[in-house]
């Protein structure tokens, strides 16, 4: 019992955490969760963290937009349903407006959500630049308002 207490107990939690990180279906879902989903034209967009419950440190920032949404909350609700279906959690970071012109390879980010607040357009620009490397991306200047 003394050997068990000295060898196994100190390594049990890190071992279980490592096993969860590599074997859990939620991790697989998080890794394969699409970072950006948007359609052409002017639309409302939401930036959000998607993460495994209890593991906020492994959160992934995602962007969702919809030209047909009545409000930013409708876009966020759709994202939340998509994430919950895979066993993931979400946290809204803000919203704004997005104009996407695939023919001219141009994306513009501006404005703010009345309910979710202003998204960090510069951070959204970085995320979009990774997903759409050939597009020119303009973001509204200014910091996030408190």
Return d(Cα 70, Cα 79) in angstroms, integer: 15
Whether residue 42 is annotated as binding a ligand: the answer is no
Residue 35, classed as helix, strand or coil, is coil
**Inter-residue contact 122 to 139 (CB < 8 Å):** yes
Residue 146, classed as helix, strand or coil, is coil
Is 72 part of the annotated catalytic residue set?
Answer: yes
Which residue of the set 49, 72, 74, 121 is catalytic? 72
Residue 81 dihedral angles phi and psi, to the nearest 5°: -65, -40
Binding-site residue numbers are: 44
Question: Would you name the residues annotated as active-site residues?
Answer: 72
Binding-site residue numbers for substrate are: 44
């Amino acid at each position: 019992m003394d050997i068990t207490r000295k060898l196994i107990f100190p390594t049990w939690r890190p071992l279980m955490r490592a096993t969860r990180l590599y074997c859990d279906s939620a991790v697989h879902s998080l890794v394969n969760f699409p970072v950006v989903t948007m359609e052409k034209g002017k639309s409302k967009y939401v930036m959000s963290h998607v993460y495994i419950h209890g593991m906020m440190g492994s959160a992934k920032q995602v962007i969702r937009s919809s030209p047909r949404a009545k409000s930013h909350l409708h876009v966020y609700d759709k994202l939340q349903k998509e994430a919950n279906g895979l066993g993931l959690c979400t946290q809204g970071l803000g919203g704004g407006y997005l104009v996407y012109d695939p023919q001219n390879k141009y994306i513009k980010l501006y404005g703010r959500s009345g309910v979710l607040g202003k998204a960090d357009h510069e951070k959204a620009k970085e995320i979009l630049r990774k997903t759409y490397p050939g597009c020119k991306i303009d973001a509204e200047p200014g910091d996030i308002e408190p």
